[in-house]
């Protein structure tokens, strides 16, 4: 069936400016980390992407090794882009990354120039794109000079394969250094993508100040703490097919004793606000204007809609923020 995008797709979404750039991103972006590889039916992926765009989500976040298997998320996205979204390409903000393990040997991982630029070329081929809107160094590689890594991002932008450079999982001081290097080269550095949630407040230890000082922005991934900040674990059991049942990133110890009590108290606060726990978690991350967007995953249209409905909630009160602060720490 031919896809016709909703005419009112921009009516209800909120957009924030990324740093002092000309880019505005939806406050909720769609991440293609877990649910767009070979294990998810292509028609489900298509339905989620269509629904996201129909609700004003213009930013799609990928990386070279998203799947599984590696590369499959980009390949599937490229297939659906060609079928459904090609005529909307200029309305989309597409990101990819390189920095973690991708192929065997000494040149398939890290922050080296050879790996980053080869990976970007492969990503563009998989997605059928001439350029991405932002290309990230996915992690700081302490074994590679930062000047080399940033130089590769500069080449990606100067060559037209990316419009902006970004970094991910860089601590505050490396963030400041990366921005300085890229500005000296004349290349716009847009975003630092970092894990941030009620249960992981690491960016508050200097990184949020760094993005503010350098006139860039934080884009937050895992705002739901890999699904822990959802209602599915509040019964204290591990649902079949959940990320915790796989045990790769989310471990069953996270439901032990005081941790489960903390989740239930956060769930109670969300219920009093007329929200799900996931919606509360998204609202909390977006309370800080230095966060330009949160990246959520979705395995179904219903799950995506629930996450996007967080935008309809009331702003968190000072009393609620204090309560969350006590629970999160």
Instruction: Express each pLDDT in 191-250 by its tens digit.
Output: 999 999 999 999 999 999 999 999 999 999 999 998 999 988 776 556 655 555 455 555
CATH of domain 15-328: 3.20.20.100
User: What are the extents of the domains in the chain?
Assistant: 15-328
Q: What is the pLDDT of residue 95?
A: 99
SS3 249: coil
What is the average pLDDT across 115-122?
98
What is the average pLDDT across 36-53?
96
Q: What is the pLDDT of residue 240?
A: 55
SS3 263: helix
pLDDT surpasses 80 at 69? yes
pLDDT surpasses 60 at 68? yes
Closest to 221 measured CA to CA, from 206, 209, 203, 205: 203
Handedness of CA 182, 183, 184, 185 (dihedral sign): positive
Is residue 249 within 8 A of residue 221, CB to CB? The reply is no
Give this prediction's pTM. Answer: 0.94
Distance CA 198, CA 288 (A): 12
Closest to 65 measured CA to CA, from 30, 40, 36, 90: 36
Distance CA 292, CA 12 (A): 17
């Amino acid at each position: 069936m031919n896809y016709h995008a909703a005419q009112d797709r921009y009516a209800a979404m909120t957009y924030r400016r990324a740093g002092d750039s000309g880019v505005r991103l939806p406050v909720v972006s769609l991440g293609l980390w877990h649910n767009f590889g070979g294990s998810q039916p292509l028609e489900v992926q298509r339905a989620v992407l269509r629904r996201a765009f129909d609700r004003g989500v213009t930013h799609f976040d990928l990386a070279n090794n998203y799947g599984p298997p590696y590369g499959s998320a980009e390949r599937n996205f490229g297939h659906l882009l060609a079928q459904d979204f090609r005529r909307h390409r200029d309305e989309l903000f597409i990101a990819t990354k390189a920095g973690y393990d991708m192929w065997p040997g000494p040149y398939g991982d890290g922050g080296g120039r050879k790996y980053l630029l080869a990976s970007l070329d492969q990503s563009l081929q998989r997605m059928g794109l001439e350029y991405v809107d932002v290309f990230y160094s996915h992690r700081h590689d302490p074994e590679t000079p930062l000047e080399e890594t940033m130089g590769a991002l500069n080449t990606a932008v100067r060559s037209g394969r990316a419009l902006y450079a970004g970094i991910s999982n860089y601590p505050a001081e490396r963030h400041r250094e990366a921005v300085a290097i890229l500005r000296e080269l004349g290349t716009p550095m847009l975003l630092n993508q970092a894990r941030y949630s009620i249960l992981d407040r690491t960016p508050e230890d200097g990184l949020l100040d760094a993005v503010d000082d350098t006139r860039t922005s934080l884009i937050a991934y895992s705002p739901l703490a890999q699904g822990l900040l959802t209602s599915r674990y509040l019964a204290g059991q591990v649902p079949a097919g959940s990320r915790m049942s796989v045990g790769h990133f989310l471990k069953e110890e996270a439901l032990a004793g005081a941790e489960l009590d903390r989740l239930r108290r956060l769930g109670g606060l969300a219920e009093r606000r007329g929200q799900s726990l996931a919606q509360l978690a998204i609202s909390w991350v977006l309370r800080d204007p230095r966060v330009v967007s949160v990246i959520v995953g979705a395995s179904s249209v219903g799950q995506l809609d629930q996450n996007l409905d967080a935008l309809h909630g009331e702003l968190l009160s000072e009393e609620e923020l204090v309560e969350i602060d006590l629970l999160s720490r």
